[in-house]
A and B are shown apart, each in its own frame.
Chain A
Amino acid sequence: MATLSGLWFNLSALQQDALILTALLAPVFLLAGLLLRGIEVEGLTRALLWRYRWTNTLFAALMALSVGLGIAVIAQERALRHGAARAADKFDVIVTAPGDKVQALLSVVYLQPSNLPLLSGDVLARLQADTRIDLVAPIAFGDSFDGAPIIGTTAAFVSHLAGGMLAQGRMFATTGEAVAGASVPLPIGTHFAPLHGFLGIGRHTGHSAAGEAPHVHTGSGLEIVGRLPPTGSPWDRALLVPIEAVWLTHSLGGGHSEPAAHALAWSGASQVGAGNPKIGPPFDTDHFPGSPAFVLHSTSLAANYNAQRRYNDARSMAFFPGAVLSELYSILGDVRETLSLMAILTKILVAVGILSGLVALSKLFARRFALLRAIGAPKRFVLAIVWTYAFWR
């Protein structure tokens, strides 16, 4: 038994599928073999199929369409779940201000525009002081370029997203540099100016003031210096910049105590990266402009659980994206059931279609089937004609 099990798991998914299909079809072929034993139905069936070829083609196309739609609906739903889970893979624990977890998840992982309240320096202080967490990455949104959201974060988190290695180029090293997601259609070396908000979406994101119209941040030039490998998440279509670049762009300071950063930001320098202000952790909690979310990562599962418990309090909300997705799925459970029901109904309709087709066929050919019986054809022959016609149809 163990050997068989081993053999089975050594097979590729395609081979396993082929074997399952063969096992499912084997009884059909066995019955067909028994039914067709010693009789010739091909000629008559072929002639009948050819005579009603247009009707048969239409019938087959309709059945294929209904089955295809049923499968596509279910496959889409599964793909959505799979994609959603995959996108959240790199986000072990998310910390935001207390509020709606689903909204926070949609903003941080799926980059859906929303107004998340900012977490202040005291939360940052606790997180930065926590030695049990391997990675603390603030996340900031609010700008975009050519439809791609610009996300401010740390080089360590970008590296974590990339699985340790960028697909192209290098990591950003100054506030004037960016790393493009795998699906961003801009080559390395492209210079761009962030647009505040999202054109066409009609909402401001992150810490933008509600009602503020989208506008280009003049004097905020950025250059793409690297590209992420595909992550299968919405972050593939984002432009990732040092979080300090987002803060400076919005004249919020640089998150560090160096005066140069402040001076640059407030003096309207020609480029965010001018003067090379410090980027990355540790951030100065006194000069921390705020961040709508932090992503935490620890190599230990237990450390992640502990972090989620510790930072889930009155000042912050910590959650596992997977757990929120599960809640979301349970809310969407009815949709899944509806889709499944629709798929089942489609299959029933197909079955009814096939059977009604057979009944219509039987009525149409009733006299000639009676003739076949009269001249000595066994019942099996007539049955074989009906079923082979239905099968090839």
Chain B
Amino acid sequence: MPDLSIRNLSVHTGDGRTILRVPALTLPAGGSLGIRGPSGAGKSTLLHAIAGLTAAEGEVRWGETDIARLGEAERDAFRLEHMGLIFQDFLLFEELSALANAALPACFLPRQQRPAVRKRARALLERFGVPPQRRGVATFSGGERQRVAVARALSTDPHVILADEPTASLDRDNADRLVSELTALARAGGRTLIAVSHDPAVIAAMDRVVDLVDGELRG
């Protein structure tokens, strides 16, 4: 599994102001990185730049692939194949069942990969204690919804997991349980985990921690 390396990464606003500058950052395959910092420091921007969701200058390399240089369609395909994203507010489709949400990437993956994704999503939900066919996602507790979101992120068996404030909407018990499950799943699968968080419990569970202040990386 390749390392993830960043070189001279910078993100600018429309008026040319630099909001993120990362001279160099390397994360070995299977490692975990916690990014902390005050609100507005650029934590989510860094995560989005790594995922190719934000236009950035510089290099975000995963093996031979420079994600920052890929075209839009290639970045979509790269994220779908190699990355799993977890968001603070879950972003689930309330109209779908737990399983349909967790297996959502199957809808746009190549046909032959769909059964495996659905099987994996079901297994993850069962492992998390969420009935796969249960509907009414809006009525799920925060912890249940975030577990469905984690199952969705892992259903494609990604090599890199990007988590943006994964515990921000959860109570302490649910947050601790989620961190424990997430890190266990990342380690078990040899996946690289990058988590942006204000939560000390999340940061403490990471192999390495960096601080981001005013768009500059420290630590």
Q: Which A residues are closer than 8 A to B by beta carbons?
A: 38-41, 43-44, 47-48, 50-51, 367-368, 371-379, 381
Please tell me if the beta carbons of A47 and B95 are within 8 angstroms of each other in the complex. Answer: yes
Most buried by B among A47, A48, A374: A374
- Interface with A: B100-108, B184-192, B197-205, which one? B100-108
Chain B residues whose CB sits within 8 angstroms of the CB of A367 once the complex forms = 91
Please give me the residue from chain A that is nearest to B111 by CB atom.
A38
Contacts of B91 in A (CB 8 A): 367-368, 371
Give bound CA distance, A379 to B108, whole Å.
Answer: 11
Q: Are B94 and A51 in contact (CB under 8 A)?
A: yes
> In the complex the two chains form, is B100's CB within 8 Å of A375's CB?
no
Determine if B108 and A48 form an interchain contact, defined as CB atoms under 8 angstroms apart: no
B76 partner residues in chain A, CB cutoff 8 A = 373, 376-379
Looking at the assembled complex, report how far the CB atom of A194 sits from the nearest CB atom of chain B, in whole angstroms. 72
With A372-B104, A375-B85, A376-B108 already in contact, 16 other A-B pairs whose C-beta atoms are closer than 8 Å: A38-B110, A39-B107, A41-B107, A44-B93, A47-B100, A51-B94, A367-B91, A368-B91, A374-B87, A375-B79, A376-B79, A376-B105, A377-B105, A378-B73, A378-B108, A381-B107
Interface size of B by CB at 8 A reads: 31
- B107 A375 Cβ-Cβ under 8 A: no
Sampled A-B contacts (15; CB under 8 Å): A38-B111, A40-B107, A47-B93, A50-B95, A367-B91, A368-B93, A373-B53, A375-B85, A375-B152, A375-B153, A376-B76, A376-B105, A378-B73, A378-B76, A381-B108
Using A38-B111, A43-B107, A44-B96 as known contacts, say yes or no to A371 and B81 having CB atoms under 8 A apart. Answer: no
Tell me whether A47 and B79 are in contact in the complex, defined as CB-CB below 8 angstroms, given that A367-B91, A371-B87, A381-B107 are known contacts. no
Question: How far does the alpha carbon of A381 sit from the alpha carbon of B109 in the complex, in Å?
Answer: 11
Q: B111: which A residues are within 8 A, CB to CB?
A: 38
Contact present for B80 and A51 (CB under 8 Å): no
Residue of A nearest to B82 (CB): A376
Q: How far is the CB of A369 from chain B (nearest CB, A)?
A: 10
> Contact: B80 with A44, CB < 8 Å?
no
Chief secondary structure at chain A's binding surface: helix
Which residues of B lie under 8 Å from residue A41 when comparing CB positions? 107
B residues with a Cβ closer than 8 A to A are: 51, 53, 72-73, 76-81, 83-85, 87, 91, 93-96, 100, 104-108, 110-111, 114, 152-153, 156
Closest 6 CB pairs of A and B: A376-B80, A47-B95, A371-B91, A376-B79, A40-B107, A51-B95
Neighbouring A residues of B156 by C-beta, 8 Å: 376
Query: A44 to chain B: which residues have CB within 8 Å?
Result: 93, 95-96, 100, 104, 107
Bound form: Cα–Cα A379–B93 in Å: 18
Q: Give the Cβ gap from A79 to chain B, nearest Cβ, in Å.
A: 45
Collect the chain A residues with CB atoms within 8 Å of residue B107's CB. 39-41, 43-44, 377, 381
Which of A38, A375, A377, A379 is packed against the most chain B CB atoms within 10 Å? A375
- Contact at B108–A39, with CB atoms within 8 Å? yes
Q: In chain A, what residue has the closest Cβ to B162?
A: A374
A47, A50, A371, A378: most-surrounded residue (chain B CB, <10 A): A371
Q: Do the beta carbons of B53 and A374 come within 8 Å of each other?
A: yes
CB distance from A41 to the nearest CB of B (A): 7
In the assembled complex, the Cα of A375 lies from the Cα of B149 at a distance in Å of 11
For B93, give the chain A residue with the smallest CB separation: A368
Report B-chain residues with C-beta under 8 Å of the C-beta of A379: 72, 76
Which residue of chain A has its CB nearest to the CB of B155?
Answer: A375
Cα separation A216 to B121 with both chains bound (whole Å): 90
Contact in complex: B96, A374 (CB < 8 Å): no
> With the chains together, A51 CA to B135 CA distance in Å?
12
Residues on A with beta carbons closer than 8 Å to the beta carbon of B153? 375
**In the complex, what residue of chain B is closest to A49 when comparing beta carbons?**
B95
Tell me the nearest residue of chain A to B104, going by C-beta. A375
Least CB separation from A382: chain B residue? B108
Contact partner of A48 (CB less than 8 A), chosen from B84, B85, B95, B105, is B95
Smallest beta-carbon distance B206→chain A, Å: 22
**Min CB distance, A141 to chain B, in Å?**
69
Across the two chains, which residue of chain B brings its CB closest to A41? B107
Q: How far is the CA of A51 from the CA of B136 in the complex (A)?
A: 11
Closest to B75 in A: A376
Smallest distance from the beta carbon of B51 to chain A beta carbons, Å? 7
Complex CA–CA separation, A43 to B107 (angstroms): 9
